[in-house]
């Protein structure tokens, strides 16, 4: 499993390695990073999942980027040149500046890999995949309602430019937007649309809806979508079917939120701290994966 994304650290170089947890921080290649919104929340949730399953920790490719695109370009370019030798079974792309030409080159490089990795995208990498016209070749996207409106809008090049009517109705019209996203080539093979209802979609068909427990405060907490994507990545690495990986991840995220008893001011790290207990108590019954 390889997770690639930027972190909000000015001038942090490109780093690559297995992630370890040390206290409240994550350590990669000698760098200590906090579990905050974005790539590191995703990595933290993936690590919590692999720990529970007894799998090796995720490999991560990170670079500092505070919006200039410098770190994003390093990540894209490194993956383009090295993806065959890295040979991940699952490749998850996360916070990166959406650079269409580099995403197209990366997709071309990934298609040459044998076996081809499971391709997962969220955040800016998902925006890039849609804008580059390669969304249907990805295995799973994890958009929220505003992002499914973006995937459904064939003209939009970024969620800031979606049609006003699509945004205004997005939260009530997710199933319809899912259909549009598939019809317009904006969707991956599988979708997990995160929201008040989590929709799991395979090849355009909604195969599961998860509504409980309902914890409205979770929407406020930066990183609670990233955690879902991190768990999906880890469960895909454990060779679960993607729709099952998505369903379990959505359930676990909600259960972790409920256990944390959050307010809108809660941090994502407090949610992630609950994942080990959630897995211990529920994963066996949810999935048949029963660890000691």
Partner 1 sequence: MVLSWLKKSLEARAGTAVARGLVIFTTVEEAMKAEKVLKKAGFDCKLVAPPPDMRKGCDLALEIDLVEQTAVARTLTGRVSFMGIYPCKGEMEPLQVEKVTRFAEHVMIKSGNMKLVFDIKTGVIVNISGGGCPDIPYLYTRLVGTHLAAAPRPRDEGRTLCALMLDRALEKALEIWKGVAPN
> Could you tell me the sign of the dihedral formed by the alpha carbons of 96, 188, 196, 243, in that order?
negative
List the one residue from 60, 156, 187, 246 that touches partner 1 (CB under 8 A). Answer: 156
In the complex, the smallest distance separating the C-beta of residue 78 from partner 1, rounded to whole angstroms, is 6
Cα dihedral 226→230→236→238 (10° resolution): -160
- By CB under 8 A, the residues from 169 to 198 that bind partner 1 are none
Contact in structure between 36 and 93 (CB atoms under 8 Å)? no
Instruction: Classify burial at 62, counting beta carbons within 10 Å of its beta carbon; exposed 0-12, middle 13-18, buried 19 or more.
Output: buried
CA distance 190 to 201: 5
Choice between 139 and 226, CB closer to partner 1: 226
In the complex, the smallest distance separating the C-beta of residue 250 from partner 1, rounded to whole angstroms, is 17
List the one residue from 4, 35, 43, 96 that touches partner 1 (CB under 8 A). Answer: 96
List the one residue from 57, 88, 98, 186 that touches partner 1 (CB under 8 A). Answer: 98
In the complex, the smallest distance separating the C-beta of residue 281 from partner 1, rounded to whole angstroms, is 27
Task: Determine, following the binding rule CB under 8 A, whether residue 42 of this chain makes contact with partner 1.
Answer: no
Choice between 51 and 157, CB closer to partner 1: 157
List the one residue from 57, 58, 88, 225 that touches partner 1 (CB under 8 A). Answer: 225
Contact in structure between 79 and 105 (CB atoms under 8 Å)? no
Bridge partners (DSSP) of residue 209 are 199
Q: Which two tokens stand for residue 267?
A: 């941090």
Q: Which residues of 135-172 are buried (b: 16+ CB within 10 A; e: fewer)?
A: beebbbbbbbbebbbbbbbeebeebeebeeebbeebbe
Task: Determine, following the binding rule CB under 8 A, whether residue 74 of this chain makes contact with partner 1.
Answer: yes
- By CB under 8 A, the residues from 253 to 292 that bind partner 1 are 263-266
Of 179-187, 201-209, 211-219, 239-247, which segment contacts partner 1 by CB under 8 A?
A: 211-219
Task: Determine, following the binding rule CB under 8 A, whether residue 168 of this chain makes contact with partner 1.
Answer: yes
Rg (CA), the chain: 17
Of 34-42, 48-56, 107-115, 282-290, which segment contacts partner 1 by CB under 8 A?
A: 34-42
Number of residues that bind partner 1 (CB under 8 A): 73
In the complex, the smallest distance separating the C-beta of residue 266 from partner 1, rounded to whole angstroms, is 8
Q: For 33-122, where are the alpha helices, taking DSSP H only?
A: 39-53, 70-86, 100-111
Question: What does the angle CA 88 – CA 123 – CA 95 come to, to the nearest 5 degrees?
Answer: 65
In the complex, the smallest distance separating the C-beta of residue 253 from partner 1, rounded to whole angstroms, is 13
In the complex, the smallest distance separating the C-beta of residue 243 from partner 1, rounded to whole angstroms, is 23
Choice between 8 and 88, CB closer to partner 1: 8
Task: Determine, following the binding rule CB under 8 A, whether residue 59 of this chain makes contact with partner 1.
Answer: no
Task: Determine, following the binding rule CB under 8 A, whether residue 31 of this chain makes contact with partner 1.
Answer: no
Of 37-45, 51-59, 197-205, 280-288, which segment contacts partner 1 by CB under 8 A?
A: 37-45
CA distance 217 to 76: 34
Task: Determine, following the binding rule CB under 8 A, whether residue 14 of this chain makes contact with partner 1.
Answer: yes
Q: Which two tokens stand for residue 195?
A: 């929201």
């Amino acid at each position: 499993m390889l997770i690639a994304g930027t972190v909000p650290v000015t001038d942090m170089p490109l780093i690559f390695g297995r992630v370890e947890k040390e206290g409240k921080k994550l350590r990669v290649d000698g760098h200590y990073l906090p579990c905050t919104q974005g790539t590191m929340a995703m990595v933290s949730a993936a690590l919590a999942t692999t720990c529970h399953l007894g799998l090796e920790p995720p490999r991560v490719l990170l670079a500092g980027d505070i919006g200039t695109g410098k770190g994003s370009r390093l990540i894209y370019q490194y993956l383009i040149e090295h993806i065959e030798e890295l040979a991940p079974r699952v490749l998850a792309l996360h916070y990166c500046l959406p650079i269409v030409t580099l995403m197209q080159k990366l997709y071309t490089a990934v298609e040459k890999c044998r076996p081809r990795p499971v391709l997962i995208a969220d955040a800016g990498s998902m925006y890039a995949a849609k804008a580059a016209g390669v969304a249907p070749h990805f295995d799973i996207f994890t958009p929220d309602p505003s992002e499914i409106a973006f995937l459904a809008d064939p003209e939009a090049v970024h969620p800031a430019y979606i049609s006003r009517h699509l945004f205004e109705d997005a939260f009530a019209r997710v199933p319809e937007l899912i259909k549009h996203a598939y019809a317009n080539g904006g969707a991956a093979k599988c979708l997990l649309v995160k929201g008040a209802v989590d929709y799991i979609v395979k090849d355009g068909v909604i195969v599961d809806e998860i509504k409980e427990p309902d914890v409205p405060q979770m929407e406020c907490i930066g990183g609670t979508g990233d955690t879902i994507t991190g768990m999906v990545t880890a469960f895909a690495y454990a060779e679960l079917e993607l729709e099952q990986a998505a369903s379990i991840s959505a359930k676990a995220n909600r259960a972790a939120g409920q256990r944390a008893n959050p307010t809108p001011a809660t941090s994502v790290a407090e949610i992630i701290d609950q994942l080990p207990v959630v897995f211990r108590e529920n994963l066996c019954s949810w999935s048949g994966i029963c660890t000691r």
